[in-house]
C-alpha cells in the first residue's frame, strides 16, 4: 500500500512538472503574425468609423425631422388661414378677423424661425470629414447665439487628437478660433478630449 501511495505521488509530481513546463508557442511566421495583428487592428478602426458615421447620421435625421415638422405645421396653419378668410368674406365677422390676424402672426413666427435659425446641418456636414480614423465624437453641441461648437470625444492616441485639432484649424473657411485645452495632451493613449471653436457666417447662410 505504501508503494502505491509513493507511485501516485510520483505520477502527480511528473504531471505537475509537465504542466508547469507547457508554454503556448506561436509557430506562424513573423510576417503572418503581423498580418493577423494588423487585420485585427483594421477591424477595430472600421468599427470606430462606422459608429462615428452612425452618430452623425442620427444628428442629420434629427435636423431634417425638425425642418419637416416646421414645414408641416406651417402648411396646416396656412390652410386654417385660408378657411378663416373664406368665413370673413362671407360673414364679415370681427371676431373671425381677430382669429385671422392671430393665425397670420403664427405663420409669420414660423417663417421668421426658419429664416433666422442657423443651418447647422451644413456645419455637421463640414465637420464630419475632419475626425481621423481612431477618433470617436461622443458629443456635438452648438450655441445658436454665439455660433460656437463644442465637441467631446475619445481617441486611441494623443497624436490622433492633435491631428483632429490640425484638421479643424486648417479648415479656416468654415471654422476658426479653435480652443485646444492642454489637458487633451496629458494621456498618450485612450484620450478623453474636448474642443470649442467658432463657425464662419458663410457656412450658416
pLDDT at 180: 84
Tell me the per-residue pLDDT of 126-139, one tens digit each, with 9 for 90 and over.
999 999 999 999 99
Q: Is 196 exposed, middle or buried (0-12, 13-18, 19+ CB in 10 A)?
A: middle
Angular region, 119: left φ>0, alpha ψ -120 to 50, beta rest: beta
Residue 25 CB neighbours (<10 A): 5
Distance of alpha carbon 78 from alpha carbon 93, whole angstroms: 20
Distance of alpha carbon 21 from alpha carbon 23, whole angstroms: 6
For the chain, residues with pLDDT lower than 50 are: 2-21, 113, 116
Tell me the per-residue pLDDT of 130-165, one tens digit each, with 9 for 90 and over.
999 999 999 998 887 888 999 999 999 999 999 999
Cα dihedral angle (76, 81, 82, 84), rounded to 10 degrees? 130
Amino acid at each position: 500500500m505504501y508503494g502505491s501511495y509513493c507511485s501516485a505521488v510520483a505520477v502527480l509530481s511528473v504531471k505537475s512538472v509537465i504542466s508547469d513546463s507547457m508554454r503556448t508557442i506561436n509557430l506562424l511566421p513573423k510576417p503572418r503574425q503581423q498580418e493577423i495583428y494588423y487585420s485585427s487592428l483594421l477591424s477595430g478602426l472600421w468599427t470606430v468609423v462606422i459608429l462615428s458615421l452612425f452618430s452623425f447620421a442620427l444628428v442629420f435625421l434629427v435636423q431634417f425631422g425638425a425642418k419637416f415638422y416646421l414645414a408641416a405645421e406651417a402648411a396646416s396653419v396656412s390652410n386654417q388661414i385660408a378657411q378663416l378668410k373664406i368665413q370673413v368674406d362671407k360673414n364679415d365677422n370681427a371676431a373671425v378677423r381677430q382669429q385671422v390676424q392671430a393665425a397670420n402672426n403664427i405663420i409669420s413666427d414660423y417663417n421668421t424661425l426658419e429664416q433666422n435659425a442657423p443651418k447647422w446641418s451644413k456645419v455637421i456636414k463640414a465637420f464630419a470629414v475632419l475626425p481621423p480614423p481612431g477618433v470617436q465624437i461622443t458629443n456635438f453641441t452648438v450655441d445658436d447665439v454665439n455660433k460656437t461648437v463644442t465637441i467631446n470625444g475619445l481617441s486611441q492616441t494623443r497624436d490622433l487628437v492633435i491631428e483632429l485639432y490640425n484638421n479643424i484649424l486648417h479648415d479656416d473657411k468654415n471654422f476658426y478660433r479653435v480652443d485646444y485645452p492642454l489637458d487633451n495632451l496629458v494621456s498618450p493613449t485612450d484620450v478623453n478630449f474636448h474642443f470649442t471653436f467658432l463657425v464662419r457666417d458663410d457656412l450658416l447662410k
